[in-house]
Structure 1
Amino acid sequence: METTRNVQPVTVDLGKEGSGELVSSRYAVRVGDVNVVVISDGVLPLPTSTMSTNVSEADRNEWFDGRFLQRDTFDWALNVALVRSGEHLILIDSGVGDGFEYFARAGQSVRRLESAGIDLAALTDIVITHMHMDHVGGLNVDGVRAKLRPDVRIHVAAAEVAFWENPDFSKTVMPEAVPPALRKAAAKFMQLYGENVVPFDRTVNVAPGVSARVTGGHTPGHCVVDVASKGEKLTFVGDAIFEVNFDHPDWQNGFEHDPEKAKDVRIALLDEAAETGALLAAAHVGFPSVCHVAKDGDRFRSVPVVWDY
């Protein structure tokens, strides 16, 4: 017997103010008993040369052509993450914030948290993978500090805090305006949140199933965040891995303070994910960035998760 379903029509007014965004800006995945939500902070337009400072222009162009991307400037994804483990609600990084005219399409994470019904006062912990401005900037926005609980714990590697007291940019290849902006953002972050910073040496257990470990490389105190529960695992790798690095793990990034160590860290993390089958998410891999990693000779393949609606 044929069954008739009563299907209600859905209408969308694309021009109506307040109708919401046209694309998803958050994606949830469950890791055992732990919930993880990746949130897009937006995109950063950057020179393509910053993705491959140790290769020829021809090699760089070949990769960008193969991805149907422009050769000079491209949109670099910027993601943060929210983790709920038991009574702990943990923010991983905070996006770039405001005040940067050239990054006008980023700085969305705080607004998107609030639009998702997340009260900033509910955050018990924040993990900062490193103190670059696109990771601490969201916390620096006027009014954000007042919305957070006074005793919020902010986990940052001790080596990272020490580095930004007198940062060394001698091995980086950044646009001229970036180093002063990085110094300013790191200093403001410590001024606002120094009393809340909980420094750690190698690893720290943030909540049941949630820990951070120092990798170094990108910055001296760069860390990744591991979420593990009931035999499942996801690692948020911060800036250790960029989109181009699946194909070319040896290509160096202009924002890396120790490019050679960053390469070793990157390959070790990719090998780890390929061997264990763990999920990987990253700050600068196209949203939502959640993927498995497959080994392909001396290269790797990102195998994106199939979206679960």
Structure 2
Amino acid sequence: MDRMIRNTQQETTMNLDTVARSVRSKPDELVPSRYALKIGDIDVMVISDGVLPLPSKMLAHNADPAVRAAWLDDMFLPPDAFDWALNVVVVRSGAQTILIDAGLGLDPDLHLPRAGQLVKRLEAAGIDLASVTDVVLTHMHMDHVGGLLVEGVKDRLRPDLRIHVAAAEVKFWEAPDFSRVSMPPGFPDALRATAKRFANEYHNQLRTFEDEHEVAPGVVVRRTGGHTPGHSVVRVASGGDRLTFAGDLVFTVGFEHPDWHNGFEHDPEEAARVRIELLRELAANRELLVATHMPFPSVGHVAVAGDAFRWVPAFWDY
């Protein structure tokens, strides 16, 4: 598989072929924010939307606090709060440029200056918003749709933009149920408001599907449920290579403890069941995994480790 990231002193043009050769960064960008690879004939780029600081309890509100604390200590993570990665993916298949999820956006009331970086990082990568033909949403939590609500973004998007999302997800947010989540105060209200605003502003662009839909040749979105009723994953397949973007089904802790419940899961038991099923599938077929909240660039494989799993990060290829 040919992954391409090369230094260049030339301006990039607005396509992934040249973007994949560029690692130009602004002086204030001290961390890598994009990683390009090839899945057969399909270009894939993982882009960091920044990081989201959240309480460590959000990892596993059903776990024994002492066991959770021991896991955090073993992982050299702070005991009270840590940074959750925010990753999105840009895919080019044939004539289509597909944005998978849209990041958090820029809400000044959230006071999250290190998140909501997607728009400027797309620009830094040479990807023009007007070149995006399709958006696929794994679900409608605000850290997946907020980038489309940034002031001025809608005006820069194509008028014929297609936004693919499961019909069950749109239906859920008409009257969302937060009775089984374990979120910090204020989050349910913020999630409700953002989902409602998104549905209102982009109603005409929505293209809903029931269970599975081919967005472009080799790019298929499939509803899994669990995290939210319409949560979906996206599989990219070409030339014998495969990669699955798992959205919020998989978190770092979910390999060793796939039965631990994340605080943002609206149906924790179903989310755990779907997570285990997906991890078993990925371990068996050895395809690549990318997920929203895995440490950037979150490209790697899944291995079976007894009754649980093991994360095997891919070696960076320059």
TM value normalised by structure 2: 0.91
- State the 1:18 CA deviation: 4.5
- State the 1:226 CA deviation: 0.3
- State the 1:20 CA deviation: 5.0
Please tell me whether residue 196 in structure 1 is matched to residue 218 in structure 2: no
Tell me the amino acid that sits aligned with residue 211 of structure 1: V
Residue 73 of structure 1, aligned match among 72, 77, 81: 81
Which of structure 1's runs of 4+ aligned residues deviate more than 4 A? none
Q: Say if 1:29 and 1:37, in contact at 8 Å, map to a contact too.
A: yes
- State the 1:172 CA deviation: 0.4
Tell me the amino acid that sits aligned with residue 317 of structure 2: D
Residue 53 of structure 1, aligned match among 30, 40, 61: 61
Tell me the amino acid that sits aligned with residue 224 of structure 2: T
Q: Which structure 1 segments of 5+ residues have no match?
A: 1-9, 11-16
Q: Matches of 1:173 and 1:124 in 2, distance apart? A: 36
Partner of 2:132: 123
Question: Greater CA radius of gyration, 1 or 2?
Answer: 1
Matched residue SS, 1:288: coil
Matched residue SS, 1:71: coil
Residue 109 of structure 1, aligned match among 100, 118, 128: 118
Tell me the amino acid that sits aligned with residue 119 of structure 1: D
- State the 1:304 CA deviation: 0.7
- State the 1:103 CA deviation: 2.1
Partner of 1:38: 46
Q: Matches of 1:77 and 1:118 in 2, distance apart? A: 21
Q: Matches of 1:154 and 1:191 in 2, distance apart? A: 13
Q: Matches of 1:21 and 1:85 in 2, distance apart? A: 29
- State the 1:237 CA deviation: 0.2
Tell me the amino acid that sits aligned with residue 91 of structure 1: L
Instruction: After TM superposition, list the pairs within 5 Å mapping 1:259-298 onto structure 2.
Output: 259-298=268-307
TM value normalised by structure 1: 0.93
Q: Matches of 1:82 and 1:171 in 2, distance apart? A: 32
Partner of 1:220: 229
- State the 1:19 CA deviation: 2.6
Partner of 1:7: none
Please tell me whether residue 251 in structure 1 is matched to residue 248 in structure 2: no
Aligned pair count reads 294
Partner of 1:135: 144
Q: Matches of 2:264 and 2:250 in 1, distance apart? A: 12
Residue 94 of structure 2, aligned match among 76, 86, 92: 86
- Give the superposed CA RMSD: 1.2
The superposition leaves residues 142-166 of structure 1 with CA deviations (integer Å, 9 ceiling, x where unpaired) of 1000000001000000000000000
Gap change, CA 1:297 and 1:82, over 3 Å in 2: same
- State the 1:39 CA deviation: 0.5
Q: Matches of 2:113 and 2:170 in 1, distance apart? A: 28
Using the aligned pairs only, state the percent identity. Answer: 59
The superposition leaves residues 262-301 of structure 1 with CA deviations (integer Å, 9 ceiling, x where unpaired) of 0001001100110000000000000000101100111111
Q: Say if 1:45 and 1:102, in contact at 8 Å, map to a contact too.
A: no
Q: Which structure 2 segments of 5+ residues have no match?
A: 1-8, 10-24
